[in-house]
């Protein structure tokens, strides 16, 4: 087989400035720290604990437990210690031993903005069981937990101990795992530290941050600037080869069309990933014959719209400073979506032959570059994907301007190039203005209709007041051309104007009311067709949320939707909605338990009209920590749709069961089993992992899909649609 290797190039230009404010000098450790969780080293005794304040449930309230957090550094690491005293030691929550999993535990954390850019943070926390969790937060946590990337991982260590006084923790984070911007002999970062007590829903934090923002404790713009002197980041080369072997079977329709036959496959693969810090602030990743066998399966979904569904990226190679590549046009729409690389439109894997990825900062520029080559598949030719993203702060430290370019070039001569400009300006206080312009050039559009810039572009303007205390609001306008096609991105519809507005008001309570926060709000938007400005979709939603001091939350919402279907909307069981204009409404309520409980249910109920019929939906998502070794969780969503005028009905259930077993902090098993009644399919994804050390892992992965209604079509479907067993071993060498 011959593979054509293609190239793609993008060019960008932006400008900006840097903020200046008083910073705190971090103390350099006066001796060695033995990472054992005991906190007995003399180096800690010489460092004063940080002054903490209660962030929640009552801002600046009286802390019920004593907390001492110290931070220091040496030539290669940042060290963090926590003396987390507890007068009720039996109430300390260490619910799970599963790596990278928060399970309602007590936590001890540090959040770092290593480039001091007020946009991106790295979040490290541990639990009383010494579980390591690392997260990347982008866009200044603007979208709350939607801004958190839980698939990001890096190299660091932690140790914890526990006795009758409470629990104690030490973290050690290499500078080479952070990246930073050095100025002469000093480095300035943003830093937040906290201790969370799940039993009482208390968060003790430094610096003094008011809870005025959604997930404000993780916002880069709220961190304290800290200065580290004489730091020189090492430049290790991490070389990670992998070997993979396994067996699989797939059911395929025979040429005669009268029966299914089973094809067997015995994969044998080797590949390589290389990570090299070119400088303290630029990281180069190289990959060859990339494999993602250990990645958890996507959640099953039933699509009740005429638009494509969006699924999040879980593959590790695309996680490093992924926030740099953000260029979102509202909702799930984005100029760059890494799932376009190595996956076809049906989510089937396409072999990645090789790729490079450069992320970080050079001077005042945030830089992100990706170039990857995929093999040909049954549906796609061999393709080259290129992405270039540059951003630079302008006007003030909370504002930036940038540009993005993407390209997708096929060995069959197909091409798609997209480029765009964007900027976000903090005008004053919590007022932000966002401007975005994007243009695409696609071979199919050029050949069919010729290239018209106004039909192949997108424009978005948004003004926001960002807060959860008091009045918040948003005004936005988006125009997307009919031929706009970002083939390395995600766009679920084209050819529209979209004006939108939103407003909310939030109150915080103190004292003995038992209520922490109440908020009410309304949103409204419409999609208007470009050709005649008629309504394609319109929606108005009114919502109210209540949070108790304990952490329990309640929510309610009402929706009014106008939908003008240009074509018949069909569902999986053969029921349908004829084309035409419909107006329908729904009402929903929700409940979420507090973090510290061993059994934590979430409940969502809704009912209303649906096009010319009705819909009732009920969802339950419980999590139960049976012991620190076993966590059971999942969800059941049941939907019942009725169309009495056509004597049609569509009922379906999606069930997900997750069982996570942590034998200790290194060995674990996760089982993810899903049932989709609309597709009559049960799928199982079972993964065993043994983490010898960071970067050295053994994976055993089992996947199976089972047809639960075999005679729904002819020929009769096989019992097993597909089954694979894979063994993968990775070993990282530091050179």
Tell me the average pLDDT of the chain: 89
CB 393 within 8 A of CB 113: no
Confidence of residue 183 (pLDDT cuts 50, 70, 90): low
Lowest mean pLDDT among 43-52, 162-171, 206-215, 345-354: 345-354
Q: Which of 430, 432, 517 is nearest to 55 (CA)?
A: 517
**Is the backbone of residue 321 left (phi > 0), alpha (psi -120 to 50) or beta?**
left
* More confidently predicted of 447 and 568: 568
Where do we find the tokens 């509202």?
Answer: 330
Inter-residue contact 632 to 623 (CB < 8 Å): yes
Spacing of C-alpha 431 from chain mean position: 25
- Ramachandran region, residue 381 (left: φ > 0; alpha: ψ -120 to 50; beta: rest): beta
Band of the pLDDT at 101, cuts 50, 70, 90?
confident
CA distance 605 to 254: 44
- Is 553 within a domain? no
Among 560, 565, 561, residue whose Cα is nearest residue 536: 565
Q: Is residue 90 part of a domain?
A: yes
Structure token digits, residue 595: 């973090």
CB atoms within 10 A of CB 22: 6
In a domain, 211, yes or no: yes
- State how far the Cα of 591 lies from the Cα of 556, in Å rounded to an integer: 9
Say if 365 falls within a structural domain: no
Q: What domain count does the chain have?
A: 1
The CATH number of whichever domain residue 188 belongs to comes to: 2.60.40.1190
Query: Which is nearest to 160 in space by CA: 20, 262, 35, 25?
Result: 35
Residue 35 in any domain: the answer is yes
pLDDT of residue 511: 67
pLDDT at 498 over 90: yes
Mean pLDDT value across residues 74-91: 94
Q: Which residue has the tokens 């719209």?
A: 305
Please indicate, yes or no, if residue 322 is contained in any of the structural domains.
no
Residues 6+ apart with CB under 8 A from 377: 344, 348, 350, 351
Q: 92: domain range?
A: 31-229
Q: Is residue 462 reached through a cis peptide bond, with omega within 30 degrees of 0 on the bond before it?
A: no
Tens digits of per-residue pLDDT, 601-638? 999 999 999 999 999 999 999 999 988 899 999 899 99
- DSSP track, 203-248: EEEES---S-STTGGG-GGGSEEEEEES------EEEEEEEEEEEE
User: pLDDT of 217-245, one tens digit each?
Assistant: 999 999 999 999 888 767 788 899 999 99
Q: How confident is the model at residue 139 (pLDDT cuts 50, 70, 90)?
A: confident
**For the whole model, what pTM was predicted?**
0.84
Residues of the chain with pLDDT > 70: what percent? 96
Query: Is 486 part of a structural domain of the chain?
Result: no
Whether residue 54 is contained in a domain is answered as: yes
- Give the Cβ contact number of residue 604 at 10 Å: 17
Token code pair at residue 681 = 């399919």
């Amino acid at each position: 087989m011959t593979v054509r290797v293609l190239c793609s190039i993008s060019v960008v230009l932006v400008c900006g400035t840097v903020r200046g404010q008083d910073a705190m000098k971090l103390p350099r450790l006066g001796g060695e720290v033995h990472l054992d969780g005991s906190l007995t080293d003399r180096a800690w005794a010489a460092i004063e604990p940080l002054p903490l304040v209660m962030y929640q449930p009552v801002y600046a309230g009286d802390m019920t437990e004593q907390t001492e957090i110290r931070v220091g550094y040496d030539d290669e690491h940042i060290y963090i210690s926590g003396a987390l005293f507890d007068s009720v030691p039996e109430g300390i929550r260490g619910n799970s031993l599963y790596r990278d999993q928060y399970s309602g535990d007590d936590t001890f954390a540090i959040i770092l903005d290593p480039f001091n850019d007020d946009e991106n943070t790295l979040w490290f926390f541990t639990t009383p069981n010494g579980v390591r969790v690392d997260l990347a937060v982008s866009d200044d946590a603007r979208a709350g937990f939607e801004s958190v990337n839980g698939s990001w991982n890096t190299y660091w260590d932690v140790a914890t101990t526990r006795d009758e006084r409470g629990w104690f923790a030490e973290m050690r984070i290499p500078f080479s795992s952070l990246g930073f911007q050095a100025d002469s002999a000093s480095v300035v970062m943003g830093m937040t530290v906290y201790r969370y007590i799940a039993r009482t829903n208390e968060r003790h934090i430094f610096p003094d941050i008011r809870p005025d923002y959604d997930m404000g404790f993780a916002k880069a713009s709220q961190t304290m600037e800290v200065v580290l002197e004489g730091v020189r980041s090492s430049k290790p080369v991490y070389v990670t080869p992998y070997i993979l072997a396994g067996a699989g079977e797939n059911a395929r329709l025979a040429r005669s069309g009268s029966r299914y036959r089973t094809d067997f496959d015995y994969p044998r693969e080797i590949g390589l990933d290389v990570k090299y810090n070119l400088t303290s602030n630029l990281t180069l990743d190289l990959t060859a014959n990339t494999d993602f066998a250990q990645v958890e399966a996507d959640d099953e979904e039933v699509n009740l719209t005429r638009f494509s569904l969006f699924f999040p990226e879980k593959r590790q190679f695309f996680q490093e400073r992924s926030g740099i590549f953000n260029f979102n046009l509202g909702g799930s729409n984005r100029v760059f979506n890494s799932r376009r690389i190595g996956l076809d439109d049906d989510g089937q894997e396409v072999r990645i032959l090789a790729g490079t990825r450069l992320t970080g900062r050079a001077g005042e520029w945030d830089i992100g570059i990706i170039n990857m080559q995929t093999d040909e598949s049954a549906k796609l030719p061999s393709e080259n994907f290129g992405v270039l993203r540059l951003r630079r702060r302008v006007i003030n430290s909370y504002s930036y301007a940038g540009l993005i370019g993407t390209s997708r070039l096929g060995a069959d001569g197909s091409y798609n190039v997209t480029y765009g400009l964007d900027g976000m300006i903090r005008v004053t206080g919590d007022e932000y203005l966002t401007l975005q312009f994007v243009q695409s050039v696609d071979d199919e559009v050029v050949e069919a209709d010729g290239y018209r810039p106004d039909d192949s572009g997108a424009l978005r303007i948004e003004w926001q007041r960002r807060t959860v205390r008091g009045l918040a609001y948003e005004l936005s306008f988006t125009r997307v051309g009919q031929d706009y096609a970002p083939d390395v991105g995600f766009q679920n519809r084209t050819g529209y104007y979209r004006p939108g507005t939103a407003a909310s008001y939030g109150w915080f309570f103190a004292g003995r009311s038992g209520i922490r926060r109440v908020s009410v709000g309304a949103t409204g938007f419409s999609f208007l067709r470009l050709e005649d400005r008629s309504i394609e979709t319109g929606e108005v939603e009114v919502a109210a949320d209540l949070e108790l001091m304990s952490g329990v939350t309640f929510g309610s919402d009402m929706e009014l939707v106008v939908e003008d279907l240009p074509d018949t909307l069909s569902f999986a069981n053969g029921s349908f909605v004829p084309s035409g204009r419909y107006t329908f409404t729904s009402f929903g309520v929700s409940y979420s338990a507090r973090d510290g409980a061993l059994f934590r249910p979430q409940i969502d109920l809704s009912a209303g009209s649906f096009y010319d019929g009705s819909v009732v939906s009920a969802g339950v998502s419980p999590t139960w920590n049976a012991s620190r070794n076993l966590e059971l969780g999942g969800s059941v969503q049941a939907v019942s749709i009725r169309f009495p005028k056509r004597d049609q009905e569509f009922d379906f259930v999606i069930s997900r069961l997750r069982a996570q077993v942590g034998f200790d902090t290194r060995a674990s098993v996760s089982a993810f089993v899903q049932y989709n009644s609309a597709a009559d399919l049960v799928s199982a994804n079972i993964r065993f992992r043994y983490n010898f050390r960071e970067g050295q892992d053994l994976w055993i992965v089992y996947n199976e899909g089972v047809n639960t209604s075999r005679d729904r079509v002819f020929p009769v479907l096989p019992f097993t649609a597909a089954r694979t067993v894979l063994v993968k071993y990775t070993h990282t060498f530091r050179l």
